[in-house]
Amino acid sequence: MELNILTVCYLLGAITFILGLKMLSNPATARRGNQIAATGMIVAILGTIFLYRDDDGNRLHNHGWIFGGILIGGVVGTLAAKKVKMTAMPEMVSMFNGMGGACAALISIVEFNRLIKHPSWTIYPPLSSLGPSAFEIHLPNGELLIILLGLMIGSISFAGSMIAWGKLNGTIKDFAFKGQHILNLFFLLLMFAGIAFLMTNIQRGFFLDIASTSIAAEVWVKLIFYGVLTFALLYGILFVMPIGGADMPVVISLLNSFTGVAAACGGFLYNNKVMLTGGILVGAAGTLLTILMCKAMNRSLANVLIGSFGGGAAAAAGKQQGGYKEIHISDAAVAMAYANKVMIVPGYGLAVAQAQHACHDLEKLLNERGVEVKYAIHPVAGRMPGHMNVLLAEADVSYEKLEEMDEANEEFPSTDVVLVLGANDVVNPAAKTDTSSPIYGMPILDVELAKTIIVNKRSMKPGYAGIENELFFRKKTSMLFGDAKKVLQDLIAEIKQL
């Protein structure tokens, strides 16, 4: 009876995951979808704790440790989520994603040690061609493969996510050296070689010449296993280190899919349907998102991982563009107040200034004056997938006013004023005109087609990709320097006086 109830709990959990993911596709239902999926997870966790029985009919014990871990993790996670600034959201996502990969790797380590602790050892008599003795180690091949894959993928996700976290918060700088991709490939080959060697030989006595006792054989098995772990960690570090700038959202999405696949391996290992379903959903969703973001950047995934535009080594110095012109706050207010249509392009600078609420206030004020206001959202604006959508949703901006890149590009020619708030690389015409630019070929928001362009930045410093923006020097472009939040508040005050 308890087993049937647990199966129902897992079924409910899997269904809520699917429903929650479906609801995440629409900003209007995303919050509720997240809550539904979290409820399903709680049901699955509590069902496992109180209803699960092993093959011998034993229940889970050590409830104090289990609930202690849940309590500590819950408190830390809640405080982190409530206190994190929107500018730090990408790095928090990277850290949490890395923790998921670490958990999957730890599961593989624990299960491997459990299997290897009491293997079936067979000692053969001495053979002259084989040395003093021959030993066979009997482990279930299916379980061993899942353990090794979970170890490799989870470790790569953990190490890569931690490097991404450090790069996003500025503590780790882009780093690359000649031949790095060859070294990465070498580590990858070593991982697969170790896995293949264990899978094909662990049942065949491959310790014939090197093991004189079963203890020695066990040591060699563990040595190869932890060698795979070491190479996976090194690979995760080295493959993310040179990547920076506009490629980071794609890398975060890719690492997220890795974590999902590693979690699915744990579901296979424990025959846990809800864990398997959750891992597959995360892995599939992360993979699809990665592909879509690469398509939005007009680049292949291999090009992102190898070309890595936006990294310190890849960024171009830029060429001399000439002078730019500034605009006074009062002139900007007049231009926007008497326009028919205004498009706002949010970027990372908006998040840094925590100006999303002031931006929404400006939008409402312009609407009261009969001005049509919409937001143009680039797929890789910010530091993580959907960063700008989350930012504006926090300020209760209507979802209907958010336009994706293709829709926005159709409306720019009929737009009177474009207000660019902290965006840089995603509006840089060099992506279309300069074949030597690291971002050449990336689709951008065609803000230059509007009648008037006002760009708000703190300074003329290049964006995250490290290259100068040609847009700032165009005739229709005016620079409005200052903190985004203060600039928006000043604009609101000026418009109210008109």
- CB within 8 Å of 254: residues ≥ 6 apart: 286, 287, 290, 301
| Structural domains of the chain, with CATH | 87-307 (no CATH), 329-497 (3.40.50.1220)
More confident residue, 459 or 403: 403
Report the sign of the C-alpha dihedral through residues 146, 147, 153, 157, in that order.
positive
Report, as an integer, the average pLDDT of 121-125. 43
What's the confidence (pLDDT) of residue 3? 60
Residues 395-418: pLDDT tens digits? 888 888 999 888 999 999 999 999
pLDDT digits (tens, 9 = 90+) for 378-398: 887 877 777 788 788 878 888
pLDDT in tens, 195-232: 988 887 665 544 444 444 455 566 777 888 999 999 99
Task: Express each pLDDT in 412-454 by its tens digit.
Answer: 999 999 999 988 888 988 888 877 777 777 888 999 999 999 9
Q: Which residue has the higher pLDDT, 171 or 461?
A: 171
Q: In this predicted structure, which of 29-43, 121-135, 278-292, 441-455 has the lowest mean pLDDT?
A: 121-135
In terms of phi and psi (left: phi > 0; alpha: psi -120 to 50; beta: otherwise), the region of 148 is alpha
The one catalytic residue in 425, 434, 483, 490 is 425
Question: What's the average model confidence in pLDDT over 265-283?
Answer: 90
Is 425 one of the annotated active-site residues of the chain?
yes
Using CA atoms, how far apart are residues 9 and 34, in angstroms rounded to an integer? 18
- Taking each continuous run of H as one helix and of E as one strand, the counts in the chain are 17, 8
Confidence tier at 131 by pLDDT (50, 70, 90): very low
Pairwise pLDDT comparison (123 vs 435), residue with the higher score: 435
pLDDT tier at 121 (50, 70, 90 boundaries)? very low
pLDDT of residue 256: 92
| pLDDT single digits (tens) 73-117 | 999 988 988 888 766 778 888 899 999 999 999 999 998 888 776
The answer, yes or no, to whether residue 267 has pLDDT greater than 80, is yes
Joined tokens for residue 306: 């190898």
Model's pTM, two decimal places?
0.78
pLDDT (tens digit, 9 = 90+) per residue, 289-336? 888 878 776 767 776 666 544 444 444 444 555 678 899 999 999 999
Q: For the residues 162-170, what does the mean pLDDT come to?
A: 87
Q: What's residue 312's pLDDT?
A: 43
Of 498 and 307, the structure prediction assigns the larger pLDDT to 498
